[in-house]
A and B are shown apart, each in its own frame.
Chain A
């Protein structure tokens, strides 16, 4: 009799456990991370899919990677599309001021850790030796929303009494991808006299042997300011927020995830050395620059 009941109970227990498992899978939240495109959607996905997978494993939430163009980021974030964002530091400020984005952690890469600087460079043999010499010259900027490829240099010129709109011969912004490298090569090959180069790109290109320190003269350099930043939507569950932050700060170069059957190093894939916990006040120098240059989110007409 007892055996009969046991045989009857076994499938019932198995079914309950199975359904409970299904419920758990069903209940696991799916959240989206908006990653600001640098060069292309394909590159963005390759770089950041491992980090989304890593966060999913650590936090117990399924994170989906979404590549986003800079100009449409704010609208899509305000529409509630993303729980997390990965943007440059100026866009972080825009999203914070306009939509309450919360600071999570900043990327670390290069000499200055979670910070970098904007430089104005010229070829060493160009005869341009000081910032004053750039009046009437051809200058190439990085993308308009780049903190150390546009904003910092525009501000440097204004601070030095040079109005880029009136005092330069002309200025341009390269099209397509790899804009920062393009503008450094633009000066190197003589298409432009001066370039607004991020210190980080000079560093990376020197390290790779693409340029040498003797090729250029650094005419001016901004103070160091935060670099790319992870942020969270204001309504994100505080428990998830805390877990994401901890997972990012604990991420080491040895951490790997499996993508399409391949073991990938998370940090190396993302071109990042690690993450750092900054204070929102660390971004104040960028806010001051944006106000002086009349850029979002403080732009007035």
Chain B
């Protein structure tokens, strides 16, 4: 009888302890629900800022894009100069300039401009996103490696070619996930 009551007592203690733990856990999760709106707002603010920046960039650089689409790369560059008067040193300007110059076959300057852009803003490497230029950068790296590396190898003392190859490797490392 005593044995049975001891077992019952142990069971009772176990149930009480479990209940207490559950209460504690519930309390803790109750605190979480109070914190959640703050962290949620932070994420939302970040996403909103990103979306707003992307929309703003697309708006101010729309004339450049329009000239590019119309097949006027030189006019697109001139439009970039105009936008650049209000927003000098903007990463998106370097991205667009790199894109235009690549289309015109001026690879060394295209590479230099993409490097400047990525040093200012790594968002262009995101796989998905309104600003993503990952595919274009990968294509530029492939083109650069096939066209410029043999030229640099044949002229090993040429410092300008060596600089371009270093920049190409920088883009390659950023694509691979390397940091600054």
Contact = CB atoms under 8 A, between A and B. Distances in A.
Are A and B genuine complex partners? yes
A115 B106 contact: yes
Interface of B: 63, 67, 72, 74-75, 77-79, 81-82, 84-85, 97, 101, 104-106, 108-109, 112, 155, 158-161
A112 B104 CA distance: 10
Nearest to A199: B74
9 contacts: A112-B109, A113-B109, A202-B74, A203-B78, A206-B82, A213-B63, A213-B67, A224-B106, A278-B160
Most buried by A among B78, B112, B155: B78
Given A213-B81, A277-B159, A111 B97 contact: yes
A4 to B, nearest CB: 59
A: interface residue count bin = 20 to 34
A249 interface: yes
B160 A249 contact: yes
Interface string A117-134: 101000000000000000
A272 B85 CA distance: 19
A229 B77 CA distance: 24
Binding site secondary structure of chain B: helix
Interface in A266-298: 276-279
The 8 closest A-B pairs by CB, nearest first: A213-B78, A277-B160, A206-B81, A276-B160, A207-B81, A113-B109, A206-B78, A213-B79
B93 to A, nearest CB: 11
A212 B97 contact: no
Contacts of A113: 106, 108-109, 112
Most buried by A among B74, B85, B97, B161: B74
A146 interface: no
Contacts of B81: 203, 206-207, 213
A113 B150 CA distance: 21
Given A112-B106, A207-B85, A202 B78 contact: yes
Contacts of B79: 213
A223 B73 CA distance: 12
